[in-house]
Each structure stands twice: as structure tokens, then as C-alpha cells.
Amino acid sequence: MTNWCMVIDLEKCVACQGCSIACRMENNTPVVSPEEAKNGRAIRWNDVFPLPVHIAPDQGEYPNVKTHYSTRPCMHCKNAPCVKVCPVQATFIDEEGIVRQNYDRCIGCRFCTVACPYGVRYFNWSEPQWEETLAEYRNPDQLSVNGSLEGPAVRPVGVVEKCTYCVHRLVKARELAKVEGREFRADEYVPACVQTCTGKARFFGDLDDPDSTVSQLSKSLRATHLLEDSGAHPKTLYLAEG
Amino acid sequence: MQQTLTLHDRDELITPLYKFDRKFWMVIAFLIAIITPGMLLYVRQLVLGLGVTDLNRPVFWGAYLVNFIFLIGISMAGTVISAVLQLLKVNWRRPITRIAESLTVFGLMTAGLQIIMDMGRPDRLINTLLYGRLQAPLMWDIASLTLYLLTAVFALYLQLIPDIALLRDTAPAAAPEWRKKLYSILSLGWTGAKEQWRRLEKAITVVSVFIIPIGISLHTVTSWLFSTTVQPGWKSTILGPYFVVGAIFSGIGLLFIAVSLAREYNKHLKEYITETFYINLGWIFIVMSAVWFYFTLNETLVVVTEQETLEFPVMASKLFGQFAPAFWGMNILMIAATWILVAPKFVSDKPTRNPLLQTVTGLVATGISVILFFLLWLQLPALSDPNIQTGLIIAFVLLFIVALFGVTKWMKTRLITSTVIASAFVLFGMWLERWNILMPTLTHARLIPYTTYTPTITEIAVTISTFGILTLMFVVFYKFFPSISIWEVEEGRALEQIADRR
């Protein structure tokens, strides 16, 4: 079975936030007003943020500046704290190692958002709104699994949403291979952030295939996880700077 | 045992049930007035989503969850008082068992209501039954709450049966027909036969044995909602017992207030609920406050000493940061409450000329210390000098101590008033305690910048509304059923008579 995994090379990342925008357009994450965003209601499945988060380091003065940035999709943990606490199994790990969210079943208790140590789960506080022209460019894709909404179609108010490694793209790629009457190959599918990455810092593939790029990179001495001590066994890999 | 109800008792306990006077309607009107705004704002929240609250990322839970834990906590009153004292055959419990048990039922009902108000999709509540995962802590809580509520309703009803039969037999001719019918159905054909009494006593004992572990499980499971996550500040094994102790503590506080209000409403109750009850339960209250301080010290000291990178910022925000007013406010309230309960036991009844024990001293010191507390809270730039700050803190502590001494004598002569004041302090302090457990951790997420949370008008109104509903249920219930377990009081009297004869 495939075990999908993303590798982010922080050495190559230029913090352009292209992944953030690509994710927004691909997954129809709702836009909120600046005041709401200031109040912590912004939804960015793929966030670019300064590191360390809490202690402002001595960054020096221009032009002698040193700044660290990181980018944060869902870690798709093997021992996911969010999955453990969901009372109705609205979030679950599928057989290919992706932590998915069933928007039709979520009761909005927000236990998963509290339990996640990475803060990559987002709640729909209000009815999503798009400004006129933006609404025309929404991704028309829609993924339904056993009659339950999962894909990039707009989520209703009051449910939790999260990065899914663009699972609808996986379904699409599989269907295409099927129609063309051939075997599906793991390199036929990448999430939108990987496709768009300016610095080619993101890699995606099957971690269980020893020949894939991601499993080669996972053996690098620079390979690390975010908050390795969280006990969640995060899967998304980072290649550390330096 | 024959029912030995005197005409006197009937006048005092049963006649008021049929008297819908102006006082009753005024209370109802007042309660509806404070419930309505919150309900309207809740409807608005249903339409617009939880965006009308100040909840955000990472503060996904707020005032609703604090209320939920608090209401679960106060529901402990019934279990402790009724079941434990019942099993220990303590006699002074008799007049207040009914009020205690009904508080459990109403507390749990409003707690359930609060969790539904907190849900993003209350319309999907049924999913917890259709797709419930028994591995999830929230499901343990739902299961435990349901079981506790059902058991508490059952216990309350069992205690009520002989009294309902009494109401059925003594209903005045003018009583409405539907009420007579209601009592007749609810009494389940109770005739007071010896066999019926034997079975009732047996059933009550069995329920009392069962309800204690169920009650403790609910408070522990509620703490597990937090301690099973990997968030700093919650990863604590002490949280379970800490919640149980806090629950008993605040439960007794609410019981004192409810009993005192009932006594004020129906003055006749003063003959049944005497000072003996206040003194005896007061001792349990004092013990619980000592245990509570012990746990709070454990929680605080360990983290402060080890200063671990994740845990310490959470604790520091309580000790010196944005949650300092709530944390120290809680401690001051608890110290004052304990003092109010303990200190009068050490002074004599005789008038004294010791200036430290005069009421005037107490009032003046209280006034100045309150002003000092607010000066410290406001953090005025003019007072930012460390020496002035330290001086203010020392002056505050000294005046606070003087105030505590000053009020002692006044408290000594007013047992019930002082117990109610202490209970109010404990209730408010326990609400703050729950706030201090939830909020510092939620605002100090690991990978999201530190943030703040201030409840909006919606959350405040819904909170007031919730406590209004709790009171309304209490008031309406006691318009239909006597607030004192008549048969238990009779039984107590009979036992006393037998003891006297010997």
C-alpha cells in the first residue's frame, strides 16, 4: 500500500507563500476580513510562519539580517491526536496514510483543533464569503466518499477543515489511469503546493517505495520532523537548514 | 412506620405549593427577564455561526466550556450530601437531601445544554449515537453524563414517592384536577405499607451506593478531556482528583446558597433547616477547602520549580501575566472564604475592646485593600516604579489580613449570612479556577503566536441565561413538590423519640 508523504527542504524554501495561495485556490478555503484575520479566524491550510514562534530572536539590522521561516501543511501523523479524540470519526487516517476529514459528519465540537499540537486544523466560524470576482475562480472539483462531502467543495459553517494532501487530486489521477486503461503510478499525483513551489523545495511521493524521491530524502541526515517530541509521530518531513 | 404528619407541618410545607402569589410571579418574571437576552443571542449564534463569540485559533474553547465544567462541578452536591450522608446514617442530612439531589439533576441538565450551545453543528448531535467512537474522551463524557443524569433523576424520584403520595392524599379540594391526577400517577400506588417501606429503603441504599462512583467518574472523565491531550498545562495526572475535589467544594457552596434562598423564600423552612446543618456541613466545607489548597499548591509549585520550556510560560501567565488577576483573584476569594468559615470558631461570643476585632476596622481595611487591588490591576504608569509596586503589594497583603481580623467578630454573630458569603466566594472562585485551567493553555499554543480571549456579549448573556434557567427549574420544581423530604424528617423525629424514651 502506498504511504503518501511530503518532504519540505527548508534550505530551498524562499518563504514566497506560493504554496499558501495555491492551496487556497485549489481547496477553496474561505477568505475572511482583515479584522477577522487579526482575531485569529484566518484559514490557511498551508501556513508560512516565522520560527521560532514565540521568542523573537535577535535578527540583526538591515542588511545583516537573519530570519527563519517554516511552512506548515498537515503533518498527517501516524498517531494523530486529532483522530484519537474525534467522538464521531469525522476525521480518520485512510489506508494510504492521509488524515482526512468528513465535513458531513463533523459536529463542530472542536476537540481535534484543541488536541492538535501543530495548530493545522481550522474551524469555520462564519458562513464563508467570497468577493465577486474571486467566487468565479473557485475550484469546481468535488469529492464525495460514500455520499459524504470531503473534497474541495465549499464547507458549511460550524465544521472543522484541514489539509488533505489534496486527496481529490489522487482520486482524479486514479480515475484517469483507469479510463486510459493503465496502471496508476505514484508520481502521477502531487498536491497543489508541491506543484507550485517556487524554489522546488517540496517533494511528494510514496514513503514505502525505497526508490521514491521522498524515501531517498527521508534518509538524509537533515531529515527531521516538526515537534518530534509531541508523541504524534508526524509524517511530513522537513530537511533542516544548514 | 405510620405517617405522623402534624397539621402544623402541612400548613408550612404543603399549603405554599398551591399558593401562586405575587412574590412567586415576580420571581418568575425576573428569571425570564434575565434568560431572554441570552436565548435571543443564542438564536443569533445559531444563524451566524460561532463567529459571534470571541473564540479564535488557537482559543477554540471558551466561556461555554468553563460553564460546562462549572455546572458539572456543582452537580456534585447531591451525590455527596445525599448519598454519602445517607450511607453514613447522618441525621442532620434529612431536611436538605431533596434540595441537594434536585441541584444535581438541574446542574447536569444545564451542563448538557451548555455543551450543545458550544457545538458548531448542534443539528448533528445525533451523530454521537450513530457514529460514536468509544475510544474518544468526549464520548466517555457523554456516556458518563447521561448515566449520572439518569441515576440522579431516579434517586430524586425514589425519595419523592412517599411525599407525592402524601400530596395526593392531602390535596386541597380547590387544587386543580390535573395536579391531583399528576400526583396520583407519580405516586405509583404508594400506600405506606410496611413492605413498600422496606423495598424503598433498600432501593435508596442501592442507588446511593451506585451514584457515588458514577459521580466521581463524571468529574474525572471531564478532567480527562484536557489531561489526555498533549497540550502544555493540561498534561497532569492531578487533574482528575483536582476536579473531583473542586466539584465537591463548589457543590457544597451552591447547596448552602440554594438552601438559604429557600429558607428566605418560605420562612417556615427555618424550623426544619436549623443552624446545626450550617455548622455540620460547614466543617465538611472547611475540610474541602484545605484539600483544594493542597492540590492547587501541588499544581503550581511543581511547574514553577522545574520551569520546563512548554509548561512554564502557561504557568507564568497565571502568576504574572494576563491571567494574574484571575489567578490571584481566585486565591484571594478562597482564602477569604476559608477565613470566614474558620476564624469565628476561635473568637468568643463576649464583646471585646480589642481594636483589631472591631467591624469598623474590618470595613475600612477592606475598602482600602480593594482600592489597592484595583490600582495594582490597572498597572498605572505612575505606579510603575518597582519600589512603589512592592510597597503596594505589601500594604495590600497587610490590610487584607487586618480586614480578615476585623470582620471575624461580625461573622461570629451571623452564622448563616457569613456561610452564604463564603459560599458565594467559593462559587466565584471555582468558576475562576476552571477559567484558569482552560484559558492559559489555550492561549499558549505551541506553534501559534500567543493570544488573548475576552468573552463577547453573546457569551456573557448566554452564561447569565444558563444560570437563570438553572434557577428557574429550581423555583418551578419546588412549586410542585415540597422542598423538604417530609417523610425523612418524620423518620428522623420518630428515631429521636425512640432515643428519648430509652
CA distances from B471 to A83, B28, B167, B211 (A): 38, 10, 24, 24
Q: How confident is the model at residue A58 (pLDDT cuts 50, 70, 90)?
A: low
Locate the chain A residue with the closest alpha carbon to B441: A114
Nearest to A125 among B51, B125, B142 (CB): B51
Q: How confident is the model at residue A57 (pLDDT cuts 50, 70, 90)?
A: low
Residue among A79, A102, A103, A107 with most chain B CBs within 10 A, to mutate? A107
Nearest to A54 among B128, B135, B450 (CB): B450
Contacts of B8 (CB under 8 A, 6+ apart): none
A232 and A117 in contact (C-beta within 8 Å)? yes
CA distances from A220 to A7, A13, A78 (A): 11, 17, 20
CA A37 – CA B238 distance, rounded (Å): 37
pLDDT, position B486: 81
Cβ neighbours of B445 in A, within 8 Å? 119
* Position B52 in a domain: yes
Higher pLDDT, B289 or B493: B289
**Is the Cβ pair A39, B313 closer than 8 Å?**
no
Q: Which helix (H) or strand (E) holds B90?
A: none
| B133 vs A: CB within 8 A | yes
CA distances from B273 to A74, A95, B502 (A): 60, 64, 26
Q: What does the pLDDT look like over B40-83, one tens digit per residue?
A: 999 999 999 999 999 998 999 999 999 999 999 998 877 777 88
Domain boundaries, chain A: 4-239
SS3 annotation, chain A:
CCCEEEEEECCCCCCCCHHHHHHHHHHCCCECCHHHHHCCCCCCCCEEEEECCCCCCCCCCCCCCCCEEEEECCCCCCCCHHHHHCCCCCEEECCCCCEEECCCCCCCCCHHHHHCCCCCEEECCCCCECCHHHHHCCCCCCCEECCEECCCCCCCCCCEEECCCCHHHHHHHHHHHHHCCCCCCHHHCCCHHHHHCCCCCEEEEECCCCCCHHHHHHCCCCEECCCHHHCCCCCCEEECCC
Mean pLDDT of A95-100: 93
Q: Which helix (H) or strand (E) holds B70?
A: helix B63-74
**Is the Cβ pair A126, B48 closer than 8 Å?**
yes
> Does residue B441 carry a pLDDT above 80?
yes
Nearest to B49 among A42, A157, A226 (CB): A157
Q: Which of A84-93, A113-122, A127-136, B308-317 is the least confident region?
A: A127-136
**Is the Cβ pair B61, A110 closer than 8 Å?**
yes
Residues B31/B36/B41/B44 CA torsion (nearest 10 deg): 150
* Position B156 in a domain: yes
Can you tell me which residue has the cell 401562586? B20
Cβ neighbours of A125 in B, within 8 Å? 49-51, 55-56
ipTM, 2 dp: 0.90
Q: In what order do the strands lie in the sheet with A237-239?
A: A202-206, A4-9, A237-239, A223-224
Cβ neighbours of A127 in B, within 8 Å? 48-49
| Shortest Cα distance, chain B CAs vs residue A33, angstroms | 12
CA B79 – CA B85 distance, rounded (Å): 9
Nearest to B121 among A53, A107, A119 (CB): A107
| Shortest Cα distance, chain B CAs vs residue A119, angstroms | 7
**Cell numbers given for B476:** 418551578
Written as one string, the DSSP assignment of B320-343 is TSTTHHHHHHHHHHHHHHHHHHHG
| Shortest Cα distance, chain A CAs vs residue B432, angstroms | 20
Cβ neighbours of B122 in A, within 8 Å? 107
* Position B226 in a domain: yes
**Is the Cβ pair B229, A89 closer than 8 Å?**
no
Residue among A113, A114, A124, A146 with most chain B CBs within 10 A, to mutate? A114
> Does residue B1 carry a pLDDT above 50?
no
How does DSSP classify residue B466?
A: H
Cβ neighbours of A156 in B, within 8 Å? 121
Pick from B166, B135, B147: which is nearest to B104 by CA? B147
B315 and B304 in contact (C-beta within 8 Å)? yes
Mean pLDDT of B277-292: 90
Cis bond upstream, residue A63 (ω within 30): yes
| Shortest Cα distance, chain B CAs vs residue A183, angstroms | 35
Torsion angles phi and psi, residue B451, rounded to 5: -140, -175
Mean pLDDT of A18-27: 93
| Shortest Cα distance, chain A CAs vs residue B222, angstroms | 13
> Does residue B4 carry a pLDDT above 80?
no
Locate the chain A residue with the closest alpha carbon to B132: A88
Residue among A79, A109, A126, A160 with most chain B CBs within 10 A, to mutate? A109
Cβ neighbours of B449 in A, within 8 Å? 53-54
> Does residue B10 carry a pLDDT above 80?
no
**Is the Cβ pair B231, A113 closer than 8 Å?**
no
A29 and A161 in contact (C-beta within 8 Å)? yes
For chain B, what percent of residues have pLDDT higher than 90?
44
**Is the Cβ pair B120, A81 closer than 8 Å?**
no
Cβ neighbours of A54 in B, within 8 Å? 313, 449-450
Q: How confident is the model at residue A197 (pLDDT cuts 50, 70, 90)?
A: very high
- Cα angle, residue B238 at apex, residues B235 and B239 outer, rounded to 5°: 70
Mean pLDDT of B116-135: 92
Pick from B62, B468, B72: which is nearest to B243 by CA? B72
**Is the Cβ pair B230, A231 closer than 8 Å?**
yes
Cβ neighbours of A126 in B, within 8 Å? 48-49, 51
For chain A, what percent of residues have pLDDT higher than 70?
98
Pick from B342, B332, B389, B338: which is nearest to B366 by CA? B332
Q: What does the pLDDT look like over B320-337, one tens digit per residue?
A: 888 988 999 999 999 989
Give the A:B interface size as CB pairs under 8 Å: 139
Nearest to A109 among B48, B57, B119 (CB): B119
Nearest to B58 among A49, A119, A232 (CB): A119
**Is the Cβ pair B136, A84 closer than 8 Å?**
yes
Average per-residue pLDDT for chain A: 90
| Shortest Cα distance, chain A CAs vs residue B52, angstroms | 8
B61 and B434 in contact (C-beta within 8 Å)? no
* Position B286 in a domain: no
Q: How confident is the model at residue B428 (pLDDT cuts 50, 70, 90)?
A: very high
- Which residue type, as a one-letter code, is found at position A54? H
Q: How confident is the model at residue A147 (pLDDT cuts 50, 70, 90)?
A: confident
* Residues B121-129: contacts with CB under 8 Å, at least 24 apart: B121/A106, B121/A107, B121/A108, B121/A156, B121/A158, B121/A159, B122/A107, B122/B46, B124/A88, B124/A105, B124/A106, B124/A107, B124/A108, B125/A107, B127/A88, B127/A90, B127/A105, B127/A107, B128/A87, B128/A88, B128/A107
Average per-residue pLDDT for chain B: 87
* Position B367 in a domain: no
**Cell numbers given for B475:** 423555583
| B391 vs A: CB within 8 A | no
Higher pLDDT, B385 or A39: A39
**Is the Cβ pair B49, A122 closer than 8 Å?**
no
CA A209 – CA A227 distance, rounded (Å): 25
- Which residue type, as a one-letter code, is found at position A104? D
Locate the chain A residue with the closest alpha carbon to B446: A117
Cβ neighbours of B225 in A, within 8 Å? 111
pLDDT, position A79: 93
CA distances from A96 to A93, A153, A206, B217, B235 (A): 8, 22, 9, 38, 31
Cβ neighbours of B130 in A, within 8 Å? 88
* Position B295 in a domain: no
**pTM of this structure:** 0.91
Q: How many CA atoms lie within 13 A of A198 on its CB side?
A: 10
Q: How confident is the model at residue B5 (pLDDT cuts 50, 70, 90)?
A: low
Contacts of B308 (CB under 8 A, 6+ apart): none
* Position B466 in a domain: yes
For chain B, what percent of residues have pLDDT higher than 70?
98
Locate the chain A residue with the closest alpha carbon to B226: A115
What is the count of structural domains for chain B? 1
| B322 vs A: CB within 8 A | no
Torsion angles phi and psi, residue A144, rounded to 5: -120, 125
Look at the alpha carbons of B403, B423, B70, B465 in this order and tell me if their dihedral is positive or negative: negative
* Distance, C-alpha A112 to centroid of its chain: 15
The CATH architecture that domain A4-239 belongs to is 2-Layer Sandwich (3.30)
**Cell numbers given for B405:** 481580623
* Position B252 in a domain: no
Q: Which domain holds residue B48?
A: 1-231+454-488
